[in-house]
Structure 1
Amino acid sequence: MQQTDEWGGDGTSSWLKVSFPFLLCGFYLAAVWFVLPPEQWLLLFGAMVAYIVPPLGRETIIPACILLGIPWWLTAFTLAFLDFAGGLFMAWNFPLLLRIPRLGPWVRRFMEAGRTFLDRRPWLERLYFVGLIAFVALPFDGSGSIVGSIIGRMLGMTKAEVLSCITIGGIIGSFSIALGIDYVTHLIPAEAGLWISVIILLVIGTALAVAYRAHSWRKESNA
């Protein structure tokens, strides 16, 4: 399968390609302000930031948001929207990412290793569209719009194809988890739900602290 267009080379001005996905997120947060109480709006904003910054994924963030009172449909739509915005950013700015120190070389190595893997298994490329949707939808470690976009480019898919897969996969994955959690929470007493929310927040805080400390150790060891 050959790539049919150049990622990021559509003639759109550079500042717009970089800023537009962030502006979309800003407009979305402004619209949600009129839907949620201020404290829940802050929780949703924190969930959006946590979703963008590893290592947390939708399988952790969606249960926490629902148990803290944010409607399941809004939680699911928010994360699916972030997948779309992330895919749009990658489609427009992939060449820019390759020029970022450390990130660019990592992306190139990832693509080279993946290309070798696919060359040995040509049948996988015939399932590229459905496979990429499944990769984004299922809660794999590292799945999502960023890695999904890299895999899509590696497969030679166009920007429109990759963005479609990421959007569809994000909707399927987010709404599936949200519906399941919403169903389960109706079976749990309110008091238990509160304690589960506290435990999830503690787990998220611990994961962030461990990730930050590991990052600090890596920087110290490389110094």
Structure 2
Amino acid sequence: MRRIDAWGDDEIDARPSWLKVSVPFLLCGAFLAVVWFFLPAEQWLFLVGMLVAYVVPPLGRETIIPACILFGVPWWLAAFSLAFLDFAGGLFMAWNFPLILRLPYFGPWVRRFMEAGRTFLDRRPWLERLYFVGLIAFVSLPFDGSGSIVGSIVGRMLGMTKTEVLSCITVGGLIGSFTIALGIDCVLNLFPTRAGLWISLAIFLSIGIALLLMYRSYSRGREVDT
């Protein structure tokens, strides 16, 4: 399996540090500025709040997207907003991974996570053959912690380059967000009344909670086995 000790050493990157840190945030600000012209003020503020909540666990796209659609945000805009945030997060991780490793609390956690992951992958070398498709599936599926940050760490453990990881995160974010949003839009067409909106939200929240419980149950079982 390929080994890359720290992103930034595997490729020549002459961009200044301030640029690598600020560009992802500037892209998010520019995106929200454009969205401002397409949404009423209250919906725009709600969307911004949901994007902030998406960054903070445990809320995922299976919760954020239904809430946005229920509040009146177009389904395609809600999906694209979260996919764009995944892209920006992946870009930040790709450009600033060595800096993140030096953070007081988050850095040591990332190192421990990577060491445990390397041990797991070394015992299963066949996983390397599925690394690209597997990372796309990991990001797209509504698992707890399956966003751009953890996805970047997993891609780093697999020895993928920054471009490969960012591509997987972008594709996975688009697939996951638009699948959920399109599914909700189809359900809303079946239940067009206000009661139908709450029924639809309850259905997708139940699915999200069930998937989360299944994933946590699987993770705890794997820890017991090891």
For Structure 1 versus Structure 2, the TM-score category normalised by the shorter chain is: 0.7 to 0.9
Per-residue CA shift, 1:29-79, capped at 9, x if unaligned? 000001111111111111110111111000000011111111000000000
Q: Name which of 41, 44, 58 aligns with 1:41.
A: 44
% identical equivalent positions? 80
Residue in 2 aligned with 1:8? 8
**2:128: which partner in 1?**
125
Match in the other structure for 1:26 = 29
Where does 1:73-112 land on structure 2 (aligned, <5 Å)? 73-112=76-115
Rate the CA distance shift 1:139–1:198 in 2: closer, same or farther, 3 A. Answer: closer
Is the contact made by 1:51 and 1:58 (CA closer than 8 Å) also made in structure 2?
yes
Q: Deviations over 1:159-210 (max 9, x none)?
A: 000000000000000000000011111122422146569989xxxxxxxxxx
Residue aligned with 1:186, SS: helix
Structure 2 CA distance for aligned equivalents of residues 155 and 119 of structure 1: 10
Whole-angstrom distance in 2 between the partners of 1:43 and 1:193: 21
Aligned length: 201
The structural deviation recorded for 1:13 is: 0.6
In structure 2, C-alpha distance between the alignment counterparts of 1:116 and 1:175, rounded to whole Å: 34
In structure 2, give the amino acid aligned to 1:64: A
What's the CA shift for 1:8? 3.4
Residue 5 of structure 1 contacts residue 158 of structure 1 at CA under 8 Å; is this kept in 2?
Answer: no
Match of 1:143 among 135, 143, 146: 146
Residue number among 171, 174, 178 corresponding to 1:171 in the alignment: 174
1:65 partnered with 2:68:
yes
Conserved in 1, the CA contact under 8 Å of 2:188 and 2:197? no
In structure 1, how many angstroms separate the alpha carbons of the residues matched to 2:199 and 2:72? 12
Question: 1:117 offset after TM fit, Å?
Answer: 0.2
Choose between structure 1 and 2 for higher RCO, CA contacts under 8 A separated by at least 6 residues.
Answer: 1
**Cα shift readout 1:130-153 (whole Å, capped 9, x = no counterpart):** 000000000111101000000101
Quickly say closer, same or farther: Cα 1:46–1:193, change in 2 above 3 A.
farther
Structure-2 separation of matches of 1:187 and 1:198: 13
Residue 198 and residue 60 in structure 1: after superposition, are their counterparts in 2 closer, same or farther (change >3 A)? closer
Cα separation, 1, equivalents of 2:167 and 2:145: 19
TM-score by length of 2: 0.84
Q: Structure 1 regions of 5+ residues with no counterpart?
A: 201-223
